Amino acid sequence: MDRKTLVNHIRQRRSCLCVGLDTDPSKIPAGLDVLTFNKAIIDATRDYCVAYKPNLAFYEVLGSKGWDILAKTVDYIGKEHFTIADAKRGDIGNTSGYYATTFFDTYGFDSVTVAPYMGKDSVEPFLQHDGKWAIVLALTSNAGAFDFETLTAEGKPVYAHVLEKCSQWGTPNNTMYVVGATRAELLAEIRKVVPNHFLLVPGVGAQGGSLEDVMRHGMNDDIGLLINASRSILYASSGPDFAEAAAAEARSMQQAMAQFIS
């Protein structure tokens, strides 16, 4: 999905919600399998969101069956929603090239999350597929982000170096950045470095990030945000009404976003 189409979806639905499909078999209602649960969540939320983000760990752990479930989930989502393979890949060039082909061509995702630690040749292969995106980890929402990402190097934090350097490799049409909602106070500074790029923002919902703060400080002229919520939507109810509860939570977030999206 290209940038123009993504922006149109955001404005038409007045939503920049991304639903994280981090489906844990131990948390879904008894008697349901992962694929059936995913389909019910997608049906319940597709009117309120613009993107879906399966985290690969929840599928890889199931072996070959999990990869089949992943493929069928992406197929069920269809082409009217942006899809993110939350795989956090990043390796030497030829290996990254095969990772890019795997997720873009074999599984049909629109984007892949990428770890930039190994530098340019680990990220570039993800930028060579038309209409596809690399979503580069910059400032994440986990506690361990303070171990490296916020350290000062040459007068600025490491994550700022990541933003600046990676923006030279790609463009706002094929590169996004992960910036956690729990770091919302830094969004204004981040926008000075990458004013036109999209940001994928986890951490709203179960991790306690403020949706309003993210919208207020993170939007650009194209909205420029995909705000992810996973557990707060998937497990809004553990009972037979799980889909209805997921829809209500997604609708609530969409309505909050609509106040900022003209």
Average pLDDT in the chain: 93
CATH of domain 3-258: 3.20.20.70
- Does residue 45 carry a pLDDT above 90? yes
As a whole number, mean pLDDT of residues 137-155 equals: 86
In this prediction, residue 143 carries a pLDDT of: 80
- pLDDT-derived band at 208 (thresholds 50, 70, 90) equals low
Condensed to tens digits (0 to 9), the pLDDT of residues 23-44 reads 999 999 989 999 999 999 999 9
In this prediction, residue 145 carries a pLDDT of: 80
Helix (H, G, I), strand (E, B) or coil at 29: coil
- pLDDT-derived band at 257 (thresholds 50, 70, 90) equals very high
pTM: 0.94
Worst-scoring range by mean pLDDT, 152-166, 177-191, 231-245?
Answer: 177-191
In this prediction, residue 205 carries a pLDDT of: 60
Active-site annotation holder among 53, 65, 79, 88: 88
Does residue 257 contact residue 229 with C-beta atoms inside 8 Å? no
Distance between CA atoms of residues 102 and 9, nearest Å: 26
In this prediction, residue 125 carries a pLDDT of: 96
Percentage of the chain modeled with pLDDT above 90: 80
Residue boundaries of the structural domains of the chain: 3-258
Dump strand ranges (E) for the chain: 17-21, 51-54, 82-89, 111-114, 133-139, 152-153, 156-157, 175-179, 198-201, 225-229
In this prediction, residue 150 carries a pLDDT of: 82
> Catalytic residue at 65?
no
**What percent of the residues of the chain are helix, what percent strand, and what percent coil, each to the nearest 5?**
45, 20, 35
